[in-house]
Structure formats: structure tokens, C-alpha cells
Amino acid sequence: MSDLTDPRPAEGYAGDISPQLAHAWAESGEALIVDVRSDAEREWVGFVPGAVALAWKQWPGMAMNPGFDEGVRAQPTGKKLLMLCRSGVRSIAAAKRATELGASAYNILEGFEGDADSDGHRMTRGGWQLRGLPWRQN
């Protein structure tokens, strides 16, 4: 995955991009990273400095965030929205919804923590953290 330098086409949203490309676009100012993980995930696992915190679903119960649409609409027009979740699954749904709302939305492949390995552990097979991109933890 680390060699993906161009967006990969996707159905229902602008495309899938590597964490590295997402970081480059955010650094250049052409895009915003939108962290769609729950507040608890960002607080306990870590977060990307400068990312917009806009949960797709919230803990407990992983109920839909009723403020998601409003949060997408509040972002600057003309910037790509790069959706980030734990593993790159919820961010697809969020990218599709943001696209329906008129945004140019992308899914960040691998997510923040990457896929689980054979022992069920994350942060060993891809993801924002493993790729050495900027993140912090409280």
C-alpha cells in the first residue's frame, strides 16, 4: 500500500488514497483530514494534529453522529476532505455521505491503526501510525 501515489477510483466518493498521500495533500493545504473515529478513540489511541474531529459514529453503542452532516457542511469549500478512521472502513461510509453533501471526499486507506494481524493486534500492518506520519497521544 505504501507505493500508492495517486488516488484509486472508488464508487460513491472521490477515491481511496494512501496515508502518505493524505499527509502530503494536507501539508500542501489542498485538503483537510477529517478524523471520523469516536471521541473515545481519538482520546485514548491518538490523533492527527490539525485534523478535524468529526465522529461518524459515537461511543457507547456506536450510534450515528446526528451532527455529522452539519460538520461536513461547516468545512471550507474547495478543499478535499480526507476521511480517516481506525482501519479504513467507517471512513468509506463517511466519504460517501460527504460526497452526497457536495464535498470532494476521499477515504484514507489503512486508517489510523491499520488492519489487525493474525493475533488481532493493530498498528503492525499499515496505518497512519505505522507509516510514521505525525500523530499525538494525550
CATH of residue 57's domain is: 3.40.250.10
Q: What cell was used for 120?
A: 488481532
45 assigned to some structural domain: yes
Each residue's pLDDT expressed in tens, for the chain with a length of 138 residues: 445 688 999 999 999 999 999 999 999 999 999 999 999 999 999 999 999 999 999 888 889 999 999 999 999 999 999 999 998 889 999 999 999 999 999 999 999 998 878 877 777 778 898 899 999 998
pLDDT at position 115? 82
10 assigned to some structural domain: no
46 assigned to some structural domain: yes
Closest CA to 136 of 50, 55, 56: 50
116 assigned to some structural domain: no
Q: What cell was used for 79?
A: 478543499
Q: What cell was used for 63?
A: 450510534
pLDDT at position 1? 44
40 assigned to some structural domain: yes
1 assigned to some structural domain: no
61 assigned to some structural domain: yes
- Domain holding 19, by residue range, is 15-108
- Domains of the chain: total: 1
pTM above 0.85, yes or no: yes
Q: How far is CA 101 from the centre of its chain?
A: 17
d(CA 27, CA 50): 10
41 assigned to some structural domain: yes
Contact 125, 114 (CB under 8 A): yes
